Amino acid sequence: MSLGPEVDQFFLIVMGSVVYLMQMGFAFLEAGGVRSKNVANILMKNILDSAIGALCYWLMGYAFAYGDDGNGFIGYKNFLLIDLDDSKNAFWFFQYVFAATAATIVSGAMAERTNFIAYVIYSVVLTAVVYPIVSHWIWDARGWLAAEGPWDGISFMDFAGSTVVHCVGGLAALIGAIALGPRKGFKTEKNEKAIRGHSVPLACLGGFILFFGFFAFNGGSQLSISNTGDGAAVGRAVRNTVLGGLTAGLVAIILDFIVRDKKFSLLLCINANLTGMVAMCASCNVIDSWAAVVIGMMAGPVFVGSSKAIFVLGIDDPLDAVSVHLGGGILGTLAAPLFNSDVGVLYNWDGTAFKYLLWNIIGLFVVLLWVALFCVPMFVAMRVLGILRVSEDVEESGLDIESQGERAYPPDAYSKDVALF
């Protein structure tokens, strides 16, 4: 009996477990990026991403994405994992942690003023319906973007989720942030960000955990390790994730140093690194190392520029989640058919290469439209019903007490001799 399938299942469990650790990274990054009065609230939302995501992906998400029966648009078997072969449980786990990641992106952009009920609603919709169907289109062999294009042999390029995970989560985050409106005191007269998070060390810890998780996020997307060439493909994906991701951070801080106050921002560097790694997701398995560096060099300015533009437009995104995930996701989606070392435009400059590019552009547009068709009515409806945003009094006092009934940093935990700030 061949041990190949057993090894592949173990590979998916290990890689999925590391990707799951990214929930901790998001938790620390977001906790450091909000004020102390909202830390327990944002941590609770990160924990519930795991719980809600697991149940929704068990109930219907997996069936919509990879059900044994389906068509080009949707899968429709294995609801509640009924009749799912046990050999696919590891695959279900790996795909579940990706679904939970897409939902987690949104919580950062909507931090510090979102009603807890609204959070539960959008988390359910994203992990049960919106994300699974997009993943079916692109990652299931029957999906219309993967297998049913207008040209034979042309399929959508997105190895590890620049489009499927990050554009989906990033656009949902943007729509949610716009529907919510900015936090009180969002801007000062100098047009500088007036609201800062309470802990840079926590945010840095979260950033490092996310960097680590991306190695499994991208490398694990090979989905197997037992076949000839699997190890090389995983190694290539991880190498390019390192080069592209960390190059983006270097370029971003240099650019910011030149155009801003001659300072090197730690938080900007962290987010730019993440933007580069997001951009790597689509093509990290099929590009040369020099291309990874070039894409990273583009990702840095994409983050800096989009973050500034979003702020100038009056959109309040406390964690810069939209710039990292939507900005990096769009860049990665467009870069894949350009830099692919086998069929990319920059290597071939022929009709086939441009068909790949056009198909990625078409697919990106349709995915963004799909997300908007769900999220715009959902967030607008919650706003009209008065369940999207907390009251001004709750926002002023902090969501920890109102939603969780507990503080991340309770005053009575301090000595009476220590001044409280």
For residue range 18-67, what is the model confidence (pLDDT) as tens digits? 999 999 999 999 999 999 999 999 999 999 989 999 999 999 999 999 99
Q: Residue 340 sits in a domain of what CATH number?
A: 1.10.3430.10
pLDDT score, position 155: 93
On whether the CB atoms of residues 375 and 172 are closer than 8 A, the answer is yes
pLDDT score, position 416: 60
Q: Residue 2: pLDDT band by 50, 70, 90 thresholds?
A: low
Q: What is the rounded distance in angstroms from the CA atom of residue 403 to the CA atom of residue 43?
A: 12
For residue range 14-32, what is the model confidence (pLDDT) as tens digits? 999 999 999 999 999 999 9
In-domain check, residue 261: yes
In-domain check, residue 163: yes
Q: What is the rounded distance in angstroms from the CA atom of residue 76 to the CA atom of residue 93?
A: 19
On whether the CB atoms of residues 76 and 133 are closer than 8 A, the answer is no
Using alpha carbons, list the distances in angstroms from residue 66 to 91, 122, 155: 10, 22, 18
On whether the CB atoms of residues 207 and 29 are closer than 8 A, the answer is yes
pLDDT score, position 418: 53
Report the sign of the C-alpha dihedral through residues 66, 6, 94, 247, in that order.
negative
In-domain check, residue 417: no
For residue range 278-289, what is the model confidence (pLDDT) as tens digits? 999 999 999 999
pLDDT score, position 421: 45
Share of residues in the chain with pLDDT > 70 (%)? 95
In-domain check, residue 420: no
Share of residues in the chain with pLDDT > 90 (%)? 86
> Which tokens belong to 309?
């533009």
Whether 80 shows a pLDDT value over 70: the answer reads: yes
pLDDT score, position 68: 94
In-domain check, residue 416: no
In-domain check, residue 418: no
In-domain check, residue 397: yes
> Which tokens belong to 361?
């552009």
Quote the DSSP letter at residue 21. Answer: T
pLDDT score, position 404: 83
| Phi and psi angles of residue 114, each rounded to the nearest 5 degrees, phi first | -95, 135
Q: What is the rounded distance in angstroms from the CA atom of residue 53 to the CA atom of residue 62?
A: 11
In-domain check, residue 413: no
Q: Residue 194: pLDDT band by 50, 70, 90 thresholds?
A: low
Number of domains composing the chain: 1
- Domain extent, residue 102, equals 4-408
For residue range 259-284, what is the model confidence (pLDDT) as tens digits? 877 788 999 999 999 999 999 999 99
**Mean pLDDT, to the nearest integer, of 215-220?**
97
Q: What is the rounded distance in angstroms from the CA atom of residue 229 to the CA atom of residue 380?
A: 48
> Which tokens belong to 357?
């590019």
Q: What is the rounded distance in angstroms from the CA atom of residue 322 to the CA atom of residue 303?
A: 9
For residue range 365-402, what is the model confidence (pLDDT) as tens digits? 999 999 999 999 999 999 999 999 999 999 999 999 88
Among residues 56, 37, 36, 60, which one has the least CA distance to residue 48?
56
For residue range 133-148, what is the model confidence (pLDDT) as tens digits? 999 999 999 999 997 6
pLDDT score, position 188: 57
Q: Write the DSSP assignment of 68-131 as a string of letters.
A: SSB-SS-B-S-GGGTT--GGGHHHHHHHHHHHHHHHHHHHHHTTTTB-HHHHHHHHHHIIIIIH
Among residues 344, 343, 309, 331, which one has the least CA distance to residue 245?
331
Q: What is the rounded distance in angstroms from the CA atom of residue 421 to the CA atom of residue 411?
A: 10
